[in-house]
Amino acid sequence: MIKSKAQIKDTWNKIGKKYGGYRRKPWKEIKYFIENVDDDLLDLGCGSCANTKVVLDKGIKLYGVDFSKEILKHVPEKVIKIEADCTKIPLKRKFKYIISIGMLHHLTTEKDRINCLKEIKRLLAKDGEALITAWYSKEKGDKMVDWGGYNYSRYYHFFSKKELEDLLKKASIKNFSIIKSKASTKINYFIKIKK
Protein backbone atom coordinates (compact mmCIF):
# COMPACT_ATOMS: atom_id res chain seq x y z
CA MET A 1 0.00 0.00 0.00
CA ILE A 2 1.22 3.50 -0.85
CA LYS A 3 1.77 5.32 2.42
CA SER A 4 4.61 7.80 1.99
CA LYS A 5 4.11 11.41 0.93
CA ALA A 6 6.72 10.93 -1.80
CA GLN A 7 4.77 8.00 -3.31
CA ILE A 8 1.46 9.86 -3.14
CA LYS A 9 3.01 13.00 -4.66
CA ASP A 10 4.49 10.88 -7.46
CA THR A 11 1.04 9.41 -8.21
CA TRP A 12 -0.56 12.88 -8.39
CA ASN A 13 2.27 14.19 -10.59
CA LYS A 14 1.68 11.28 -12.98
CA ILE A 15 -2.06 12.00 -13.00
CA GLY A 16 -1.38 15.72 -13.56
CA LYS A 17 1.02 15.03 -16.42
CA LYS A 18 -1.38 12.70 -18.20
CA TYR A 19 -4.84 14.05 -17.38
CA GLY A 20 -4.42 17.55 -15.95
CA GLY A 21 -7.60 18.92 -14.41
CA TYR A 22 -10.14 16.20 -13.82
CA ARG A 23 -12.89 17.62 -11.59
CA ARG A 24 -16.36 17.93 -12.93
CA LYS A 25 -18.76 20.76 -12.21
CA PRO A 26 -19.07 21.70 -8.54
CA TRP A 27 -21.39 19.85 -6.18
CA LYS A 28 -24.29 21.93 -4.84
CA GLU A 29 -22.69 22.47 -1.39
CA ILE A 30 -19.48 23.73 -3.03
CA LYS A 31 -21.39 25.85 -5.54
CA TYR A 32 -23.35 27.49 -2.70
CA PHE A 33 -20.14 28.22 -0.75
CA ILE A 34 -18.39 29.66 -3.85
CA GLU A 35 -21.39 31.83 -4.81
CA ASN A 36 -21.16 33.58 -1.43
CA VAL A 37 -17.43 34.29 -1.64
CA ASP A 38 -16.90 38.07 -1.68
CA ASP A 39 -13.22 38.25 -0.73
CA ASP A 40 -9.95 36.45 -1.53
CA LEU A 41 -10.25 32.64 -1.53
CA LEU A 42 -7.66 30.04 -0.56
CA ASP A 43 -8.14 26.68 -2.33
CA LEU A 44 -6.14 24.05 -0.45
CA GLY A 45 -5.32 20.91 -2.46
CA CYS A 46 -6.61 22.91 -5.41
CA GLY A 47 -5.91 20.52 -8.29
CA SER A 48 -6.69 22.52 -11.43
CA CYS A 49 -9.01 24.96 -9.55
CA ALA A 50 -11.88 23.65 -11.67
CA ASN A 51 -14.39 24.21 -8.85
CA THR A 52 -13.12 27.58 -7.66
CA LYS A 53 -11.88 29.48 -10.75
CA VAL A 54 -15.34 31.09 -11.17
CA VAL A 55 -14.43 33.58 -8.41
CA LEU A 56 -11.90 35.14 -10.82
CA ASP A 57 -14.87 36.42 -12.87
CA LYS A 58 -15.94 38.45 -9.80
CA GLY A 59 -12.50 40.07 -9.58
CA ILE A 60 -11.64 38.03 -6.48
CA LYS A 61 -8.09 36.81 -5.94
CA LEU A 62 -7.77 33.03 -5.89
CA TYR A 63 -4.81 31.37 -4.19
CA GLY A 64 -4.30 27.73 -5.22
CA VAL A 65 -2.14 25.48 -3.03
CA ASP A 66 -1.17 22.00 -4.19
CA PHE A 67 1.88 19.80 -3.70
CA SER A 68 1.76 18.50 -7.29
CA LYS A 69 3.84 20.56 -9.67
CA GLU A 70 2.26 18.81 -12.66
CA ILE A 71 -1.32 19.48 -11.56
CA LEU A 72 -0.51 23.15 -10.89
CA LYS A 73 0.43 23.49 -14.58
CA HIS A 74 -3.31 23.19 -15.34
CA VAL A 75 -4.38 26.01 -13.01
CA PRO A 76 -5.65 29.17 -14.79
CA GLU A 77 -3.02 31.87 -15.29
CA LYS A 78 -4.73 34.42 -13.02
CA VAL A 79 -4.59 32.10 -9.99
CA ILE A 80 -1.80 32.74 -7.47
CA LYS A 81 -0.19 29.29 -7.48
CA ILE A 82 1.68 27.91 -4.48
CA GLU A 83 3.42 24.54 -4.62
CA ALA A 84 3.40 23.43 -0.99
CA ASP A 85 2.55 20.71 1.48
CA CYS A 86 -0.78 21.42 3.20
CA THR A 87 0.85 20.93 6.61
CA LYS A 88 3.28 23.85 6.01
CA ILE A 89 1.74 26.55 3.87
CA PRO A 90 4.15 29.43 3.16
CA LEU A 91 1.59 32.19 3.73
CA LYS A 92 1.21 34.64 6.61
CA ARG A 93 -1.88 36.56 5.54
CA LYS A 94 -5.40 35.56 6.60
CA PHE A 95 -8.32 34.57 4.38
CA LYS A 96 -12.03 35.15 4.88
CA TYR A 97 -12.70 32.01 2.83
CA ILE A 98 -10.83 28.71 2.62
CA ILE A 99 -11.94 25.62 0.74
CA SER A 100 -10.42 22.15 0.56
CA ILE A 101 -12.20 19.68 -1.70
CA GLY A 102 -11.34 16.00 -1.46
CA MET A 103 -7.85 16.42 -0.04
CA LEU A 104 -7.99 15.57 3.69
CA HIS A 105 -8.69 11.89 2.99
CA HIS A 106 -5.42 11.59 1.01
CA LEU A 107 -3.27 12.41 4.06
CA THR A 108 -1.75 9.24 5.45
CA THR A 109 -1.12 10.08 9.11
CA GLU A 110 -3.16 11.55 11.93
CA LYS A 111 -0.32 14.03 12.55
CA ASP A 112 -0.56 15.37 8.97
CA ARG A 113 -4.36 15.59 9.17
CA ILE A 114 -4.17 17.57 12.42
CA ASN A 115 -1.39 19.81 11.08
CA CYS A 116 -3.40 20.50 7.92
CA LEU A 117 -6.42 21.50 10.03
CA LYS A 118 -4.17 23.67 12.22
CA GLU A 119 -2.95 25.46 9.08
CA ILE A 120 -6.55 26.10 8.02
CA LYS A 121 -7.26 27.52 11.47
CA ARG A 122 -4.09 29.67 11.35
CA LEU A 123 -4.93 31.12 7.93
CA LEU A 124 -8.65 31.68 8.54
CA ALA A 125 -9.51 35.30 9.31
CA LYS A 126 -11.73 36.36 12.18
CA ASP A 127 -15.36 35.83 11.11
CA GLY A 128 -14.03 33.71 8.22
CA GLU A 129 -15.40 30.38 7.06
CA ALA A 130 -13.90 27.23 5.63
CA LEU A 131 -15.42 24.26 3.82
CA ILE A 132 -13.63 20.89 3.76
CA THR A 133 -14.84 17.71 2.07
CA ALA A 134 -13.85 14.09 2.61
CA TRP A 135 -15.22 10.93 1.04
CA TYR A 136 -17.54 8.81 3.15
CA SER A 137 -17.51 5.01 3.15
CA LYS A 138 -19.11 2.38 5.37
CA GLU A 139 -15.66 0.81 5.49
CA LYS A 140 -13.29 2.84 7.68
CA GLY A 141 -9.52 3.17 7.61
CA ASP A 142 -6.88 3.09 4.88
CA LYS A 143 -7.62 1.84 1.39
CA MET A 144 -6.25 2.05 -2.14
CA VAL A 145 -8.98 3.04 -4.62
CA ASP A 146 -8.72 2.63 -8.39
CA TRP A 147 -9.30 5.88 -10.20
CA GLY A 148 -12.24 5.45 -12.58
CA GLY A 149 -10.73 2.88 -14.95
CA TYR A 150 -7.37 4.64 -15.26
CA ASN A 151 -4.14 2.89 -14.34
CA TYR A 152 -3.77 4.65 -11.01
CA SER A 153 -4.69 3.66 -7.49
CA ARG A 154 -5.00 6.50 -5.00
CA TYR A 155 -4.63 6.31 -1.24
CA TYR A 156 -7.71 7.18 0.85
CA HIS A 157 -8.37 7.24 4.56
CA PHE A 158 -12.08 6.78 5.24
CA PHE A 159 -13.18 8.61 8.37
CA SER A 160 -15.97 8.05 10.82
CA LYS A 161 -17.79 11.22 11.88
CA LYS A 162 -16.36 10.75 15.40
CA GLU A 163 -12.81 10.56 14.01
CA LEU A 164 -13.32 13.83 12.12
CA GLU A 165 -14.72 15.47 15.26
CA ASP A 166 -11.70 14.29 17.25
CA LEU A 167 -9.27 15.59 14.61
CA LEU A 168 -10.93 19.02 14.62
CA LYS A 169 -10.79 19.16 18.41
CA LYS A 170 -7.10 18.11 18.40
CA ALA A 171 -6.48 20.98 15.98
CA SER A 172 -8.16 23.32 18.53
CA ILE A 173 -11.07 24.03 16.18
CA LYS A 174 -14.23 24.55 18.21
CA ASN A 175 -16.79 26.11 15.88
CA PHE A 176 -17.58 23.45 13.27
CA SER A 177 -20.36 21.32 11.84
CA ILE A 178 -20.18 18.06 9.88
CA ILE A 179 -22.89 16.84 7.52
CA LYS A 180 -23.06 13.84 5.23
CA SER A 181 -24.44 14.47 1.75
CA LYS A 182 -24.56 12.72 -1.59
CA ALA A 183 -22.39 14.66 -4.02
CA SER A 184 -22.37 13.28 -7.55
CA THR A 185 -22.24 9.47 -7.18
CA LYS A 186 -20.41 9.45 -3.83
CA ILE A 187 -21.44 10.35 -0.30
CA ASN A 188 -19.15 12.97 1.22
CA TYR A 189 -18.62 14.62 4.55
CA PHE A 190 -18.89 18.41 4.39
CA ILE A 191 -17.10 20.09 7.26
CA LYS A 192 -17.91 23.76 7.86
CA ILE A 193 -15.61 25.78 10.10
CA LYS A 194 -16.30 29.30 11.35
CA LYS A 195 -13.91 31.53 13.27
CA gap 3, 109 in Å, rounded: 9
For the stretch 13-55, pLDDT in tens is 888 777 665 556 778 899 999 999 999 999 999 999 999 999 9
Under 8 Å between Cβ of 87 and 112 = yes
Q: How far is CA 73 from CA 22, 155, 161, in A?
A: 13, 22, 34
Which is nearest to 113 in space by CA: 129, 132, 127?
Answer: 132
pTM: 0.93
Domain layout of the chain by residue ranges: 5-194
Superfamily holding 5-194:
Vaccinia Virus protein VP39 (3.40.50.150)
Tens of pLDDT along 142-151? 998 887 666 7
